[in-house]
């Protein structure tokens, strides 16, 4: 089943208090992902010592690594189902507790069977993170800020292994591989303290509201769901190849020392983190200027996959340490865009929270929540709306964010580049119940120069001036099936929804 999330549980994004609330939650979720990937990758850091001490073959080590995924992938569906019925804020804390304990107990591993069992426990606990984080982002973060929020989580995917490699390498060379798991797990469990205080104000709203359930079979009939899963499968393949095998490959097959391996892998993950943050910020700016979001996200994802494929091919043919370093850094820089793509899409139906991998959507599917992480995309529906938008105007941007957050199917018209005709303006003002004089941007110096506010100036003269000089049109104008409005302040747009 999936859920239709009622608006009553959607956080108020406006105002300083609302912004601080979701910013703190995203900061803690970002830290959660850092810890998640540091603990997940601990086995790779420990591999040079762990594999020898436990007398594991390459096949045995591969079984231990893959055991994590045996439960992690199926857990996404179970966690999605639970997050629809339980308090998602407490559910995410429960998952972290399980995975941190599994990490610490790995320090006591005596053989392959115990290692596999603890990796399964780790996968079950970590499986809670991304479905829950996705639901929290969809609930609290404004649509116009989700690219940056997801960019932060995507950067955390790389920062976690970077910190893990650096700290783990130092621990490995000084204290041995068992200490890696003990220290990493102990640090992770400390996250529960700030999360308790940051999330507790939202517990009541989350648990009191009953959400309408939608059969999963209805979701699985959507072609976009399958293309999303395939896109993420391809994106994850290269990343997990590096996460699980890179340290062992560099040390055992390529002759790197522990410290040289630590330095290189840390740098690789830091480059990927910077790339993810940059592309998250950049993609949000492009969307704000009216770029088609679906096409943009698909283009970034395709670029990321192509870069990863080239980098893996280059690594296979590299014959020197310098060439290995080049191809790893090249792949890391190109991998960043793969993590910045939101996973909420307007499919022209209801708002659905589904447990599926990422939003690799068609151009007509509006995208608005994370891409590189497993979790519930949010399919939102809404009426069609047209906004006459100036991307440099704060009120216009806020209005657009409200429309997207409410699930409207928005057509964005940059009226300074593509101004409406005289007849269109006249029709919009008539629907909005205002005169052309009331729709005039009075603060523009040109208004005074043309004396458009003089009493003898007719509406026809004002309309002609607006067509000739679109800067005179007050923004933003929004039109829906319910009517039209000059949305100043921006909350007036809600009357049209």
Q: Which residues are the active-site residues?
A: 393
391 SS3 class? coil
3-state secondary structure 246-307: HHHHHHHHCCCCHHHHHHHHHHHHHHHHHHHHHHHHHHHHHHHCCCCHHHHHHHHHHHHHHH
344 three-class SS:
coil
Count of helices and strands (H, E) across the chain: 18, 10
SS3 410: strand
Distance CA 288, CA 282 (A): 10
Torsion angle in degrees (nearest 10) through CA of 464, 469, 473, 478:
90
Lookup: tokens for 86: 């339980």
Neighbour-count burial for 100-138, b at 16+ CB within 10 Å, e otherwise: bbbbbbbbebeebeebbebbbbbbbbbbbbbbbbbbbbb
Sheet with 378-379: list strands edge to edge.
212-214, 2-4, 352-353, 378-379
Burial class (CB in 10 A: 0-12, 13-18, 19+), 359: buried
- From the CB of residue 221, how many other CB atoms can be counted at a distance below 10 Å? 10
- Tell me the C-alpha distance between 153 and 127, whole Å: 15
Question: Residues, the chain, total?
Answer: 497
Q: Which residue carries 């004002």 as its tokens?
A: 462
For residues 131 and 375, is the Cβ–Cβ distance under 8 A?
A: yes
Cβ density class 432-462: b for 16+ within 10 Å, e for less: bebebbebbbeebeebeebebeeeebeeebb
DSSP string, 62-114: HHHHHHHHHHHHHHHHHHHHHHTTS-HHHHHHHHHHHHHHHHHHGGG--SHHH
- Of 366, 393, 371, which Cα lies nearest the Cα of 382? 366
Assign 483 to helix, strand or coil. Answer: strand
Is 403:410 a contact under the CB 8 Å cutoff? yes
Q: In what order do the strands lie in the sheet with 384-389?
A: 409-414, 384-389, 477-480, 483-486
Residue 406, classed as helix, strand or coil, is coil
Do 265 and 250 meet the contact criterion of CB atoms below 8 Å apart?
Answer: yes
Query: Which of 185, 181, 244, 179 minimizes the C-alpha distance to 44?
Result: 244
């Amino acid at each position: 089943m999936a859920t239709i999330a009622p608006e009553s549980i959607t956080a108020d994004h406006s105002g300083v208090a609302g912004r601080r609330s979701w910013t703190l939650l995203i900061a803690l979720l970002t830290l959660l992902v850092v810890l998640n990937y540091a603990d997940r990758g601990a086995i790779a850091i420990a591999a040079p010592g762990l594999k020898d001490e436990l007398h594991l073959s390459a096949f045995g080590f591969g079984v231990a690594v893959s055991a994590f995924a045996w439960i992690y992938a199926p857990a996404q569906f179970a966690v999605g189902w639970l997050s629809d019925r339980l308090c998602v804020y407490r559910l995410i804390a429960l998952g972290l507790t399980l995975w941190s304990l599994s990490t610490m107990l790995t320090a006591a591993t005596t053989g392959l069977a115990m290692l596999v069992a603890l990796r399964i426990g780790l996968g079950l606990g970590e499986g809670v993170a991304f479905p829950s984080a996705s639901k929290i982002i969809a609930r609290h973060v404004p649509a116009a800020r989700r690219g940056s929020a997801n960019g932060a989580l995507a950067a955390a995917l790389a920062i976690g292994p970077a910190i893990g490699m650096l700290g783990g390498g130092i621990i490995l060379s000084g204290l041995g591989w068992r200490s890696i798991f003990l220290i990493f797990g102990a640090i992770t469990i400390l996250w529960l303290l700030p999360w308790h205080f940051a999330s507790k104000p939202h517990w009541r709203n989350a648990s009191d509201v009953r959400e309408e359930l939608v059969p999963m079979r209805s979701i699985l009939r959507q072609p976009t769901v399958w293309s999303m899963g395939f896109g993420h499968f391809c994106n994850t393949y290269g990343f997990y190849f590096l996460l699980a095998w890179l340290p062992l490959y560099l040390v055992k097959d390529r002759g790197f020392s522990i410290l040289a391996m630590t330095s290189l892998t840390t740098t690789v993950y830091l480059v990927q983190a910077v790339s993810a943050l940059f592309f998250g910020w950049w993609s949000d700016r492009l969307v704000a200027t009216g770029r088609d979001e679906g096409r943009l996200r698909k283009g970034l994802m395709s670029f990321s996959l192509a870069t990863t494929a080239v980098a893996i091919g280059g690594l296979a043919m590299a014959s020197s340490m310098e060439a290995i370093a080049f191809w790893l850094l090249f792949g890391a820089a190109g991998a960043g865009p793969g993590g910045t793509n939101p996973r909420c899409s307007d499919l022209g139906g209801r708002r659905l929270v589904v447990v599926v991998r990422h939003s690799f959507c068609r151009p007509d599917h509006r995208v608005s929540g994370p891409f590189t992480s497993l979790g519930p995309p949010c399919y939102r529906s809404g009426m069609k709306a047209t906004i006459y938008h100036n991307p440099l105007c704060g009120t216009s941007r806020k209005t657009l964010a409200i429309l997207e957050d409410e699930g409207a199917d928005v057509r964005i018209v940059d009226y300074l580049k593509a101004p409406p005709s005289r007849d269109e303006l006249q029709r919009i003002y008539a629907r909005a119940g205002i005169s052309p004089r009331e729709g005039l941007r009075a603060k523009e110096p040109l208004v005074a120069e043309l004396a458009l506010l003089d009493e003898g100036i007719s509406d026809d003269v004002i309309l002609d001036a607006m067509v000739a000089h679109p800067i005179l049109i007050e923004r933003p104008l929004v039109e829906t099936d319910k009517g039209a409005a000059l949305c100043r302040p921006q909350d007036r747009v809600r009357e049209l929804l």
